[in-house]
Structure 1
Amino acid sequence: MKSSQQSGFTLIELMISLVIGLIIVAAALVLFLAGQKSVAIQQGASDLQDNSNFALNYITKDIRFAHLGNATAAMTGSVVHGGIVLTSTNLSATDSTETKYFSRSAVDGSSNVDIESDQLVIQYLPIATGGFDCEGNTINSTSEYVIQRYFVRKDTNFNDSETANTALALACDAGRYSGDTATNFGDDGQIIMKRVDYFHVLLVTENSAGNFRDMTIANYLASGTEPRILGVKIGVLARSSQTVGPESIIDNSREFDVLDKTVSLKSSIQSASSRNLREVITQTVAIRNALGDRAS
């Protein structure tokens, strides 16, 4: 009776099979990780697109209302009910609103870069009811001025890759004004742009000689001449709300040009292992209600 012979893998064949299997698993893992990175980057890019296409358009739409209802077209820091609120005179001669709620340059604790963010405050008199202010409150009167403050503040709703100090957002605080003091004004407002590292404002001005100049709010207030304001330029350094991982292609030490300022991220953010997509978004807004020769 013949005995049956059994054959199997030799040791070398087994080792080769294992190596081939490991190579296939490694290739699949690389593809999976690459896919995860791609999804994270696409999500970050989507966040930035939302900021640029929706939030900034929402802001500029409201800024165009500034100075609406004023009897004179000239808009300066001393015009009562002027569209850009720079001083108490823009509200009324006896206004008691604190100066920290006026348009200002470099507000403390309001940025993730080496320069503090600005604050822009506008006001206008509605010509019809039924609209909404930047907080979503219904406009019910055409005899009350709407006052809106755009500023950067901390967002208490942040994810695990952020800290309470770096989770900054651009918010808008809206109130009403009919007497000597603004009401429902000076709170945290509503967030309109989720993640903002820096917010900068320039005033587009024209002096008595017809020369145009872009001025920071601080320079305008210090000039003593109060040239006419025709528009504003706003610049935002926005970032994605989700990290895209420790990507070496994203350089946190790079500089960003935001209008007339060149800024760098704070050292604590530069040294962080996680990375976020960032983009500078700018917009120039002509304030149509401040153009022309209309006089009271």
Structure 2
Amino acid sequence: MHIYKQKGFSIIELMIALLLGLLIIAGILQLFLGITQTYRQNDELARAQENGRIALTFIAKDLRMAGYWESEGADTDTAFFLFDCDSKLKKCDKDKFGLKPGQLSIAYQPPDGMDCAGRSSDITRGDLIVNAYYVAQDPSNNNESSLFCRSYNLTTDTELTPGQVLISGIESLTAQYAIAKSSSGTTEKYLSDAEVQKVDERNVKAVKVTVEASSANNTVQPYSTTVQIKNAL
């Protein structure tokens, strides 16, 4: 009769196996955390891109209507980019809805009878309105920087929308204005909002708008679009 002795692993072998197992688990966890972080970053970047594109969509839609006059005999000399609301254009609001850094003001007669916030009350056919876009902190959303719009009815001298959040996560808004040569009508150069106030605004043929959108990790990405002014004289 043969008696076989059972053999097991030694302490050293068990410790080595345990160490190898821990290394494998650590590698798997590291891979999982890396994939999760990459997914989160891509999701935040996609959200910032979406916010930037939506913001540009709002502004570009209005820019395509800039200087549109539906009524016959309308005052086509009225600036569709309001540099200042003088006595001719009535008082507008307390800061005159003027063209200033971080704000873009657009004037036209809305064919759909709505302002930038979708408001249709206090607007009748043929009214000249101003939509102003600007960036400010949203107190209702932890003071997150957001794109706002407000509007004014120049015909009735009435404030329409005092301030409406359009999209959150927008850090800045800038505009550059393409000025056409008086002789050829071709674009000569782009001017800042301060420089363009010194020229005839009816020579503006295109506007380049840039917004900066931020993600949850405070990464800021610029997005731009250029809109031709179809109604420029």
User: TM-score, structure 1 length as denominator?
Assistant: 0.66
Query: Is 2:227 aligned against 1:231?
Result: no
Q: Distance in 2 between matches of 1:73 and 1:232?
A: 24
> Could you tell me how far 1:288 is from its partner in structure 2?
0.7
106, 118, 121: which one aligns with 1:136? 118
CA contact (8 A) 2:52 2:170 kept: no
SS of 1:59 mapped into structure 2:
helix
Letter in 2 for 1:279: Q
Q: Distance in 1 between matches of 2:73 and 2:41?
A: 49
Query: Is 2:105 aligned against 1:121?
Result: yes
Which structure: larger Rg? 2
Report the counterpart of residue 151 of structure 1 in structure 2. 134
Unpaired segments of 5 or more residues in structure 2? none
CA contact (8 A) 1:146 1:175 kept: yes
Query: Is 2:166 aligned against 1:201?
Result: no
RMSD: 3.0
Q: Distance in 1 between matches of 2:74 and 2:226?
A: 19
Q: Residues 72 and 64 from structure 1, CA distance in 2 versus in 1: closer, same or farther, beyond 3 angstroms? A: farther
Report the counterpart of residue 174 of structure 1 in structure 2. 151
Q: Residues 74 and 124 from structure 1, CA distance in 2 versus in 1: closer, same or farther, beyond 3 angstroms? A: closer
Q: Residues 93 and 184 from structure 1, CA distance in 2 versus in 1: closer, same or farther, beyond 3 angstroms? A: closer
Number of corresponding residues: 228
187, 191, 196: which one aligns with 1:220? 196
Q: Distance in 1 between matches of 2:50 and 2:110?
A: 28
Structure with more strand by fraction: 2
CA contact (8 A) 1:125 1:143 kept: yes
Aligned residues with identical type, % of pairs: 25
SS of 2:163 mapped into structure 1:
coil
Report the counterpart of residue 227 of structure 2 in structure 1. 285
SS of 1:31 mapped into structure 2:
helix
> Could you tell me how far 1:57 is from its partner in structure 2?
2.2
Q: Distance in 1 between matches of 2:164 and 2:20?
A: 60
> Could you tell me how far 1:100 is from its partner in structure 2?
5.1
> Could you tell me how far 1:214 is from its partner in structure 2?
1.4
Within 5 Å, give how 1:13-162 maps onto structure 2: 13-69=13-69, 79-80=77-78, 82-89=79-86, 92-99=88-95, 101-105=97-101, 118-129=102-113, 132-138=114-120, 141-156=124-139, 158=141
Unpaired segments of 5 or more residues in structure 1? 106-117, 244-274, 292-296
Report the counterpart of residue 247 of structure 1 in structure 2. none
Letter in 2 for 1:103: L
> Could you tell me how far 1:41 is from its partner in structure 2?
1.6
Q: Distance in 1 between matches of 2:153 and 2:229?
A: 21
> Could you tell me how far 1:26 is from its partner in structure 2?
0.3
> Could you tell me how far 1:61 is from its partner in structure 2?
1.4
User: TM-score, structure 2 length as denominator?
Assistant: 0.82
SS of 1:283 mapped into structure 2:
strand
SS of 1:200 mapped into structure 2:
strand
Report the counterpart of residue 270 of structure 1 in structure 2. none
